[in-house]
Amino acid sequence: MKMNLKDYIEEGLAARKSIDTEKIKYLAREMLSRFDKGGKLITFGNGGSAADAQHFVGELDGHFTIERKALPAIALSTNTSSLTAIGNDYSYAEVFSRPVSALATSKDIVVGISTSGNSQNVINALLEAKKKGAMTVALTGSTGGKLAGIVDVLLNAGSDFTPVIQEVHISMIHMICLEMDNLIEKD
């Protein structure tokens, strides 16, 4: 898709306005509740979405807007030895589902990030997380793709343009972190 700069800005603004802030608030509360009960965040994605997953973890085990204790989070895309071994020995479609099968519990929230909503390795991992009883969340583009019918909570960016979707995903991640910080400060 070719787009001029003005249209790109407008697409980004419209997509940000489409964010479901009630779902953001719900996820922030649910994450803090699960962390308090010994749960953790497990997150993953491919390419830019892998970087978004790592960014999410950095905001949690570091800090966002306030000083607070580190929050438990893991980005599966950071373990290159596991990714390459599983990709080589099994298939790339299993690079996230195998670690999820080893790490996820019913206390956890598992977040898959896929701009199309159709990345097979993200789908497989979220299906595995459901088997483990974890809460499943997907960050996707406008339709949610195949993930729309799989996850407990769908956060879909209101765009079909990958760069805008990725920018909105970071906005969503920051909004979740901001809401968690706001809830922590109230306590």
| pLDDT for the residue 8 | 94
Encode burial over 89-117: b for 16+ CB neighbours within 10 A, e otherwise: eeeebbbbbbbbeebbeebbbbbbbbbbb
Query: Mean pLDDT, consecutive 10-residue segments, the chain of 187 residues?
Result: 91 96 98 98 97 98 95 96 96 98 98 98 98 98 97 97 97 98 88
The C-alpha atoms of residue 39 and residue 107 are separated, in whole angstroms, by 5
Q: Which domains does the chain have, with CATH numbers?
A: 5-186 (3.40.50.10490)
pTM: 0.96
Both tokens assigned to 48? 């830019």
